[in-house]
Amino acid sequence: MSRVASTLDLRVTEADGLLLLGAPDIGLFTAPLGRGAVVAPGMSAGALRHLGGTVTLMVPEGVRGAVIDDAPDRVLLPVGFGQVLYRVDPAGAGAATSEDPPEQDTAAGLVLVAEQSGRVWHRPGPGEAPFCAPGDVLEEGAAVCLVEVMKTFSTVPYRPAAGLPDRARVVRWVAADGADVQKGDPILELEAT
């Protein structure tokens, strides 16, 4: 029995000074990055569901920049092999010269990171309001999101630790709703209040 890869690198082409990241297979694209997301080699850029299961789409070596398109409105978007999923500006967000991982590219330098690997959910359930949104102020104990590990959901509270202030304002989501994250990956960009 053959084993299906759990990750696949996005396909890369260039056009008009932009990097075009395409689907490495056919399937249903989910957990996309949004406009302005800074991408770097080795980071997750969504997932692709197909008959063999779900694979995490990875940013390949040599790709660094900012996504210039809005994320698709559909949660499961049918895509074909090579279909462009992201247009990336290599000069976006200072990414062309930066050697730092994406979590270091935030303007305020404050990010809430995942304490464990899993899938991030912005809402307590489908159709419900997100736990927090850009502009919201977080204080200790405020629910930020859920992290799903093997069908077990854990609420992630805001904890002023690791250089985070007692109160912080949400600037933007770094991890898309439904995105897979590794321990230490950024979830939210924050600013002190």
Residue 137 to residues 6, 8, 73, 190, Cα–Cα distance (Å) = 36, 37, 26, 9
Question: What pTM value is reported for the model?
Answer: 0.51
Matching CATH number, 7-94, of 1.20.1250.20, 3.90.660.20, 2.40.50.100, 3.40.50.150: 2.40.50.100
Residue 128 to residues 67, 131, 134, Cα–Cα distance (Å) = 27, 9, 16
Query: Distance between CA 181 and CA 185 in Å, rounded?
Result: 6
CATH code given to domain 106-192 = 2.40.50.100
Count of all residues that appear for the chain in the document? 193
Tokens encoding 104: 């270091």
Most distant CA atoms of the chain, gap in Å: 55
Lowest mean pLDDT among 2-6, 46-50, 56-60, 124-128: 2-6
Q: Is the pLDDT of residue 191 over 60?
A: yes
Query: Distance between CA 153 and CA 142 in Å, rounded?
Result: 16
What digits encode the pLDDT tens for the residues 11-51?
Answer: 999 998 999 999 999 998 887 887 788 888 888 888 888 88
Query: Distance between CA 172 and CA 191 in Å, rounded?
Result: 10
Spacing of C-alpha 192 from chain mean position: 22
Residue 156: in which H helix or E strand, if any? Answer: strand 152-157
What digits encode the pLDDT tens for the residues 144-168?
Answer: 999 999 888 999 999 887 678 889 9
Query: Distance between CA 116 and CA 135 in Å, rounded?
Result: 25
**C-beta of residue 168 within 8 angstroms of C-beta of residue 108:** no
Query: Distance between CA 121 and CA 176 in Å, rounded?
Result: 8
Determine how β-strand 7-9 pairs with β-strand 53-58.
parallel
**Which residues of the chain are in CATH 2.40.50.100 domains?**
7-94, 106-192
